[in-house]
Structures are given as C-alpha cells and as structure tokens.
Structure 1
Amino acid sequence: MASALIRSRILLKASRTNKSNRRFFCSNKESTISSQPIISDLSAAAGEAPAQAVGSSENKAWSFFKYGIVGALTGATAFAGYASYAYSLDEVEEKTKALRESVNYTAGNDASNVERYQGLLYSTAMTVPAKAVELYLDMRRLLEEHVKGFTEPASEKLLPDLHPAEQHVFTLVLDLNETIIYSDWKRDRGWRTFKRPGVDDFLQHVGKFYEIVVYSDQLSMYVDPVVERLDTNHFIRYRLSRSATKYQDGKHYRDLSKLNRDPGKILYVSGHAFENSLQPENCVPIKAFKTDDMGEVPLDTALLDLIPFLEYVARNSPSDIRKVLASYERKDVGKEFLERSKDYQRRMQEQRQQGRIWHR
C-alpha cells in the first residue's frame, strides 16, 4: 500500500516535469520561429543599405557631370557672345593664333624622352579647345558672310568703270523720294507719285554736264518703273536701289565710296543728305519736297535754284568738290550760291564803276 502510494507520487511528479519541459520547448520553438522574419528583415535591410549608397553616389556623379556639361556650354556660349560683340573676326583670329597652333607643337630633335612625352601630352590636351576655337571661327565667318549679304552693298563697284574720255566728268547722285519726286498713300486712293516742279528742265540741263545716277533706298521694283516714267529722255544713266545701300543701325545708307568714282568728283543731292549718306563731305543739301495737306503740289524752285551752282562746278572743274562744299557749311547750296553770286556781281559792278571814274 505504501509502495503503491510512493509509486503514484513519483509518476505524478514525472508527468508534471514533462509538461513543464514541453511547455519550455514550445516557447523556445515559438521564439525561434518568430525570430526568423526579424533576422531576414535585418539581413535584407543590411543588403539594401549598400545598394542605396551605391545608387545615391551614382546619381550624384551623374548630376555633377550633367551640370558640369551645362555649365561648360553656358560658359562657352557666353564667351563666344562676348568675343563676337567685343572683337572683330580678325582680332579673334589674331588672339587665338597661339592656341590654334599649339596642336602642332613638337619637341626639338635634341629634346629628351621626357620632354617629348610632355610635348605630346600638351598637344593632345590642346586639341579640344583648339578645335572648338576653329569651329567658332568657321561658324562666325559663315554667319558674317550671310549677314553681309543683307547689310553691305551688293558689290564693291556699284557702277562700271568710267570711260577714259569722261574722266573729267563729275558724277551727280540724286536721291529719289522727297528729292525729285514725292510718293504718298491714302486708303481712299492708294499710292500717288508727284514730280517735283522743274525736274524735267533740271535733268535736261545738268544731263549735258554730269553723269547722273539715282540712288534710292527703295526696292528696285519701285525705283525702275518710277524712273522710266520720270526720265523718258534717258538723262539718268544708272539706277541704284536698296540692294546697293549699307544697312546700319536700322537704316539704309548710301555708301558713295562703292560707286567706283573719284570721291573728289561726286555730288550727292538729297532732301535728307546728311541723314542717309555715309560721306557727308559729298552732300549737297536741298529742301525736302512734299505735297501739302490737301495733296496739292506747292510752288518749289529748289532744283532750278541749284542749276547755276552745278553748271559753275562743271565748267570750272575744281580738283576736289569736297573742299568747295565744305565752304558752304551745310547750308542750302543753291540759295547760298545765288546770294554769293549777287554779292560777287555787285562788287564787280562797283569795281567797274570805280575804274571808269578813275579813267575819267
């Protein structure tokens, strides 16, 4: 009986021990299972951290390279713009001559291997900037030639050579609008062109002494038909239109130096002579011709008043007409010449009278 009681107690104690062991094992198992995701997450995070670090470093390098290229292009563009503004093409070629020639640098025959290697490295390093400068010069030369076609006269010699028998003849250059004609436009009637009073007699008279040239800033499609109707007797030898002008500062200027004539024998007559000519020393100012508010042609004798001066120049043939024109100090030459002629005739008459009295 006692042995049975002892045996039952031992079995009870053993069963309690097994339950506690099973409970402890299960708790360890659960902890082990639950710890697996945590370990895997930590390992994944540890693996992603270097990848993210590598990716961020690559992005930084690419951004630095990209902004470096943009900065270099911006700087090169700014430098090219400044060079184009501040220096002419010849000046840029002269200043970059040493840089462009550095590509062909070679060490002398007596140079050491180190010096030759340094020279090779130097010429190789200068290849890119030298080629960039050459490309800039080629592009600028091409652009300036293209722009020159719109801003410079169509030719270096706008007129053919003067005949040897006419080397003494003066060239009379006439502006067209507001000088020998006037054109205006109104919505109710369109364009109308008016001849300046006395223009027919003027052309007929001075055509005997001068080579007459019309030089206008209008297009040839306008100049040619107007001159053909105006000058039916063909006293005007040549017509020059907008393509023969020099475009500068938003205006078309008459460049008398391109006429292929002696500058000392050129007279430019215009109602806006000093405003649209590049050679003011050859200008003969005249009153601008316009119609009145009613469209009526006013009484005007400016062209006829200019005939005595032009005839005087043609008959006396001064060596340089520019000196003669300078004496008029940009005044109305026709009126000033008439006033001087009257004073001269009056003085001559007084001298004759005094001479006759003295002889008596």
Structure 2
Amino acid sequence: MSIVTRSRQIFSIVRKSNRNPRLYSSVSANGPSDPIISSSILSNQPTSSTPPPPPPPPPESAAAGSVGGKPLSFLKYASIAALTGGVATAGYATYAYTLDEVDEKTKALRASAKVSAGVDLSSFDKFQDMFKSAAMTVPAKLVELYMDLRAATEEHVKGFTEPVSEMLLPDLHPQEQHVFTLVLDLNETLLYSDWKRDRGWRTFKRPGVDDFLEHLAQFYEIIVYSDQQAMYVDPIVDRLDEKHCIRYRLSRAATRYQDGKHYRDLSKLNRDPSRILYVSGNALESCLQPENCVAIKPWKCEAEDTKLLDLIPFLEYVARHRPADIRPVLASYQGHDIATEFIERSKEHQKRRQGQKQQGRLWRF
C-alpha cells in the first residue's frame, strides 16, 4: 500500500473522531483492533466519589451451620434450664422449710465443698478429692447466697409482721404481782366510729364506759390494745379516759400481722398469761390466745346497751378471789354469755348456801 493511501485512511479516522468526541477508538499499525464503547455504558459504572455498595449479608442457614453455632445454642438453653430449676428449688424450699431446716439439710453439701486433700493419699485420690471439692463449690456457694438473702428478707419482713418488741409492757411493780391485767379492745367494745358524707367521721362512747373504767381500775391493770394506728388511738384514748384509768395503750405496731389481719398477741405483754383477760366485741377473731378471751356483744351505737356494766360483777369477782389460772375459769363459760351465766351461777350458789344454812339450823334444833 502506498504512503498516500495510508495517509488518507488515517486522516479519515481522525476526522470521524473529531466529529463525535464520545466515541473512543484505538489505532494501530494494522487498523482498529478494539470495539467502540458508548458513554451510556460508562455512566453506569461507580465513580471514585461514590462508595461501593456493601456486600449482602450471609444467609441464616450458613450462619447456623457455621462452627460454634450449635454449641452456643445448647449452652444458652442449658443455662436457662439451670436457672429455672434453681429458682423453682429455692421457691419450694422457702415454702416447705424454715431457714433452720434448710441450714440443717444443706450442711453436708456445704461441708463437701471444703474437703481438703490428705497428705498421705495417692496422687489419684488427691486429684479425685480436689475435683469433688471444685464440683461442689458452686452449689455450696449458691446455697449460702440463698440462705443469706432469705435471712435478710425475713428480717426485713419481720419488722412489718411482728410486734415491735418481745416485751410490750414494762415489768409489774413487785407489790402488784398479784394484780390481774385487763386488756380492752377499742372499736366496737369501748366506742364506735361511724362515717357519713354530710359530717365525716364521728366517734361515740359505749353506754357505761366511764363507770366501767373507773370501777375496774381499782382492781385491774387496764390496757387498751387496738389494731388501729397510734395517730388514731392516742387522741381517742385521751378524750375517752379523762380520769387516767388506762395505764397503757398499744396500737397496730404492737400487733402480729398474719393471714391478712392484725392480731393481738398477749404472749408479748410481759405478763403472766394465767392472769390476763382480753375483753372485746370481736375477741375470738382478733386474738391469738382464745383461752384468755372474754367475748361480749359488739356495740354499734345501740342506745340501750348495758353489756359493759353487766360484765362488772364477773370481773370484780375474779379480781377479788384471784384464781390461780383464769383460763380454766373462762373455759367453763364457753358457749355462754359470761355476764348472764355468771348471774345464774351466783343465784344457784346463793340458793345452795341458803339451803345449807337451813339444814344447819334444823340440825341444831
């Protein structure tokens, strides 16, 4: 090929390239060898200023089948099962056993974690003892933790359920060791509290309460024991007992909370239980010592009520004759109204005495 012909070919290619700058070509001595690429294809390629998209996450099946997936899943379920079993065991032990019983039953378990390898044992026996001690360390520590937490919890709860003191009253004076203790309930026994929308709360005194307190204060140590708060009991008793016949007053903090109710616990009074009488309109439902209860009719503002005054002869008789133990005496009145039954027994006793006197007179003649 001549020089003129080759020059014409080169000139023709350059002129086409200048007419359309978006087309690219490569020229070699043998002519174009690469295809022409359009700019539309190039525009879809990522530029240096735009970051490449993140790679897609691996499928879950691949992650589950990876090394370590199954062991971790087994460990998770085993931990949940162990935790559930431990909580269930602790709950059952709390329900079925006291703290002292749990301490007694777990002594062997806790002692096994403190076993030390003997000096004269073989290497295998030493290793076996060390392995046993290490295996029992975790259960023993968990038992000790449970006992510490339970002791702290029971001590905290005890402050709300037990009386504030083991001895709610001071010691009796040595010269009053023979005196009986008369414990009186407040609501529906000595008074009645009523609430109405138009006037709010009002408190009414039971008929005869002033005479009752003043007369029996000569024979008894009188105590008011209520399940109400002290902020309610103190001002009420101040207005009720203007002559200071009541020696002590006990409120809700001195009761025992049990089965959702506040009970009077006469065993905490620091008094001889054979010399305690508890008078209440709800005696058997509010006291933990029914053998010391003197039940009377609850008062709810009946104007003609005389139950307190009717009870004075029986209480005065007890204080004057001082039985060795009041509990058998009260048991003999079980199922009867004490005031009414005492009057009947007194009449029968008078009849017997009169009959004996008449027989004695006839014998003399």
TM > 0.5 fold call: yes
Cα shift at 1:330: 4.1
Contact 2:227 2:262 in 1 (8 A): yes
Query: Which residue in the other structure is 1:313 paired with?
Result: 318
Give SS of 1:289's match.
Answer: coil
- Which residue in 2 is equivalent to 1:202? 212
Partner residue of 1:338 out of 320, 338, 343: 343
Which of residues 308, 330, 333 is equivalent to 1:328? 333
Please give the TM-score of this superposition, normalised by the length of structure 1.
0.82
The AA in structure 1 aligned to 2:154 is E
Using the TM superposition, give the Cα deviation of residue 357 of structure 1 relative to its aligned residue in structure 2, in angstroms: 3.9
Return 5+ residue gaps in structure 2 as ranges: 1-57
2:133 match: 123
- Equivalent residue number for residue 352 of structure 2: 347
Task: Measure, in 2, the Cα distance between the counterparts of 1:67 and 1:263.
Answer: 58
Equivalent-residue separation in structure 1 for 2:99 and 2:113 (angstroms):
21
SS at match of 1:192: strand
The aligned residue for residue 134 of structure 1 is 144
TM-score when scaled to structure 2?
Answer: 0.81
Deviations 1:146-168 (A, max 9, x none): 11111111111111111111111
Structure 2 residue identity aligned to 1:176: L
The one-letter code of the counterpart of 1:280 is P
| Contact kept in structure 2, 1:155 and 1:258, CA below 8 Å | yes
SS of the aligned residue for 2:113 comes to helix
Letter in 2 for 1:89: L
Aligned partners of 2:261, 2:91: CA distance in 1, in Å?
24
Distance in 1 (alpha carbons) for counterparts of 2:194 and 2:64: 76
Whether contact under 8 Å (1:214, 1:239) holds in the other structure is yes
The AA in structure 2 aligned to 1:225 is P
Given that 1:285 and 1:331 are in contact with CA atoms closer than 8 Å, whether structure 2 keeps it comes out as: no
Larger helix percent:
1
Secondary structure at 1:124 match in 2: helix
d(CA) in 2 for partners of 1:338, 1:233:
29
Contact kept? 1:281, 1:322, Cα under 8 Å? yes
Aligned partner of 1:66 in structure 2 is 76
Q: Partner residue of 1:146?
A: 156
Any idea what SS the aligned residue of 1:284 has?
Answer: strand
Whichever residue aligns with residue 350 of structure 2, its letter is Q
Structure 1 unaligned residues grouped into runs of 5+: 1-47, 292-296
Distance 2:130 2:321 in 1: 73
* Aligned with 1:273 (options 267, 277, 283): 283
Once residues 173 and 118 of structure 2 are traced to their aligned partners in structure 1, the CA distance between those partners, rounded to angstroms, is: 60
Q: Is the 8 A contact 1:285 1:330 kept in 2?
A: no
What is the identity, as a one-letter code, of the residue corresponding to 1:299?
A: E
How many residue pairs get matched? Answer: 307
Residue type of the partner of 1:61?
A: P
Pair 1:112 & 2:122 matched: yes
Q: Tell me, in whole angstroms, the C-alpha distance in 2 between the residues paired with 1:58 and 1:299.
A: 87
Instruction: Tell me the amino acid that sits aligned with residue 324 of structure 1.
Output: V
Are the counterparts in 1 of residues 256 and 265 from structure 2 also a CA contact under 8 Å? yes
